Amino acid sequence: MNSKRLSKLVVTALEDMKGQSIRCINVEKLTSITDYMVIATGTSSTHVKALGDAVNKAVKDAGEPVVGMEGRLQSEWVLVDLGDVVVHLMAAPMRELYNLEELWNFKTLSEKEAEAGNPDS
């Protein structure tokens, strides 16, 4: 399965489990480590863990390998490494603190739309 289809599979699994603020970022031109980075927020540590388990199951059910999974014990930040897709599942305070979208210098579509509609920003 190519990385784009794999990232879509991950996003669907996260949507099915009610993951919040899901972002799928194409980083293949920025790094050789991975092609896509998927970031989602869980409502609690239990929810973050369940999101990780759902991604793990969906990928394995599709016949694809899971390279690794880290952070399930505390479940404040679970990382699922799928090789060409890296998934970051975070509790809201953790996501706010690390703000991976800003780290990679990306703005969400709503921010771009807001700037386009408001010349003062």
pLDDT digits (tens, 9 = 90+) for 21-68: 999 999 888 888 999 999 999 999 999 999 999 999 999 999 999 999
Q: Which fold has domain 3-117?
A: Beta Polymerase; domain 2 (3.30.460)
For the chain, what percentages of helix, strand and coil (3-state, to nearest 5) are there?
A: 40, 25, 35
Residue 105 — pLDDT band, cuts 50, 70, 90?
Answer: low
Tokens of 13: 């699994």
Task: Check if the beta carbon of residue 67 is closer than 8 Å to that of residue 61.
Answer: no
What pLDDT is recorded for position 99? 87
Instruction: Please give the model's pTM, rounded to 2 decimal places.
Output: 0.83
Domain residue ranges of the chain, discontinuous segments joined by +: 3-117
Q: Which residues contact 55 (CB under 8 A, 6 or more apart)?
A: 10, 13, 14, 80, 87, 89
Q: Which two tokens stand for residue 2?
A: 């190519």
Tell me the one-letter amino acid at 21: S
Q: How far is CA 121 from CA 40, 113, 118, in A?
A: 27, 11, 6
